[in-house]
Structure 1
Amino acid sequence: MITSLDNSLLRLARAVRDGKSQEFIFVEGLRLCEEALRSGLPIEAVIVSNELAQKETAAALLPELSRAAKRVASVSEKLLGSISYTKTPQGIVLLASRPESNQDHFAGGQKENPLIVLMHRINNPVNVGAILRTAEAAGATGAIATENTSDPFSPKSLRGAMGSAFRLPIWYGPTYAAAVGWCSQRGIHTVCADVHAATTYSEIDWARPSALIFGPESSGLSREELAAASEAVRIPMGGAAESLNVAVAAGILLYEAARQRPSEGSVRR
């Protein structure tokens, strides 16, 4: 049992939580820890509170996590709170190897008719996580997060993705030009979401290989960024609303793409 705030494992956990270590990811809560376990990620350590260890809700999962992890440590609720990312600690933290997110690994996970989400300059990790979760649910084959986008494996993004970041092929860190160029070279039609576009999202062919590009809510994509894509589409809006939350917009476009791809069989109907 760990009793010191300055314990080396707790120091490592705080470093991973704060993004100071890129070797591991910080996973918190029983549900998300189970998702990480089921995904097959190598688990470096499990840190669990004495209180949670006594609860029936954790009885089935903790032995599995203990067998999979290199290190297992029990701590008091107070010590767990010192490493927790949430205001209300959930009783368990897991440190796992960071999933592969390079170009080669991403490319290897693509199907013959890919449907990709490309996130550029989206700085809210909650939105990044929500987009990943929606992308998986809509049958997307992968996601690209450019170097100017929040880390899809940060604690907040992981919480928002609810396990999707462990299963969906992700390419993290390319420049916008490199990501769009990669798609173009492979015949993937790149489509930007833009409030000023003349074409609405339901008017185009989503059944072909496609990449949906989403930029920041505040400023949108620049003229140069829009010009680099194959085309742009808008979502019709009523009232005085000028824009939608980017995760909501992603959901609308992704499900239109899924609707036009009945043969893919990736979305339960």
Structure 2
Amino acid sequence: MTKQSLLGSHQRSWIWGRNVVVETLRAGRWTPHELRLAEDAGGLDEIAKLAESRSIRVTSESTARLAQLCGANDHQGVIAKMPPFPYAEVSQLVEDAFNDSNAPVFLITDHLHDAYNFGAIVRNAECFGAAGLFIPIDRQVGVTSQVARSSAGAVNAIPIARVANLLSFVSELQRRGVHLVAASEHAATPLSTADLSGPIAIVIGNEGRGIDQSLLEKCDLAISIPLAGRVGSLNAAVAAGVVLYEATRQRGIVSGTFKEA
């Protein structure tokens, strides 16, 4: 078995680290099968009680055994065995978003491969109040332990749905009045001049090739983020955060509350 396939197996089975496990337990959306705690670690009583209050089995193991099970040494004395991630249903996510807001913000990722990038995007989306994320089923990293950790537990706080065909799906969104906004370093329209105040879906491309041309052609608007340095582009997660901030700013959100129009 290769190192990558072994890592993938661990990522599908376990999450680890105190913060992400606590956030997962508190959210109650992705319930662990069991929790294993280090025998010699302190400060774990609250986590154990939280798990037991949700009828999750808690056992003790050596620190070395925890590292062996999850494939990482930075587990902080806490690992949780997980079922498959509970992805949202696509149409329900859209309906719920429009029930909550006349101008929801969605994110669409076009075949991202890097777990840390995707986790950071999920965290950005949750922090800026996006209604949900849509990811393709194929050739896209899903919610793994690394995604959960890099999202700081945000995978438990924002709905994520998988779609079989991005092109068909975005056409459905457009029929609902959602404008597709592509973040592209080659776009002629700078972010500062773009109108992001209505219902939008921000499209973030693959780390290497960007947004697929067929999907880019479907977008209603392509925007670029002006840069002052010598490096020609931002990574996917940073670009998503910048565009999300601008969409949030245009909606008049200040200090976590909505300003009256």
TM class by shorter-chain length? 0.7 to 0.9
1:29 to 17, 29, 32: 17
Stretch moving more, 185-194 or 58-67: 58-67
CA contact (8 A) 1:28 1:90 kept: yes
Offset at 1:18?
4.2
Offset at 1:221?
1.5
Secondary structure of 1:252's counterpart equals helix
CA contact (8 A) 1:207 1:260 kept: yes
Count residues with an aligned counterpart: 247
1:188 to 175, 178, 187: 178
1:231 to 203, 221, 224: 221
Stretch moving more, 138-147 or 108-117: 108-117
Distance 2:193 2:254 in 1: 20
CA contact (8 A) 1:106 1:142 kept: yes
One-letter code aligned to 1:234 = S
Corresponding residue for residue 141 of structure 2: 150
Q: How does 1:10-89 map to 2 (within 5 A)?
A: 17-19=10-12, 26-41=14-29, 42-52=31-41, 55=42, 57-89=43-75
Secondary structure of 1:244's counterpart equals coil
Deviations 1:76-108 (A, max 9, x none): 112111112423332111134422333144234
Offset at 1:40?
1.2
Secondary structure of 1:249's counterpart equals helix
Offset at 1:263?
5.9
Offset at 1:136?
0.9
Q: Which runs of 5+ in 1 are unaligned?
A: 1-13, 20-24
User: What percent identity do the matched residue pairs reach?
Assistant: 26
Secondary structure of 2:133's counterpart equals strand
Q: How does 1:119-134 map to 2 (within 5 A)?
A: 119-134=109-124
Corresponding residue for residue 109 of structure 1: 96
Corresponding residue for residue 6 of structure 1: none
Distance 1:70 1:88 in 2: 23
Question: In structure 2, do the counterparts of structure 1 residues 43 and 210 end up closer, same or farther at CA, with 3 Å as the change threshold?
Answer: same
TM-score, normalisation: structure 2: 0.86
Offset at 1:254?
0.4
Distance 2:253 2:76 in 1: 41
Corresponding residue for residue 4 of structure 2: none
Distance 2:223 2:200 in 1: 13
Distance 1:82 1:106 in 2: 37
Offset at 1:58?
1.5
CA contact (8 A) 1:198 1:234 kept: yes
Offset at 1:64?
1.7
CA RMSD of aligned residues (A): 2.3
Offset at 1:217?
2.7
Deviations 1:7-59 (A, max 9, x none): xxxxxxx986243xxxxx6321111111011111333211111112xx1x222
Secondary structure of 2:21's counterpart equals helix
Offset at 1:267?
5.6
Question: In structure 2, do the counterparts of structure 1 residues 220 and 70 end up closer, same or farther at CA, with 3 Å as the change threshold?
Answer: same
One-letter code aligned to 1:106 = L
CA contact (8 A) 2:251 2:258 kept: no
One-letter code aligned to 2:251 = R
Stretch moving more, 188-197 or 257-266: 257-266
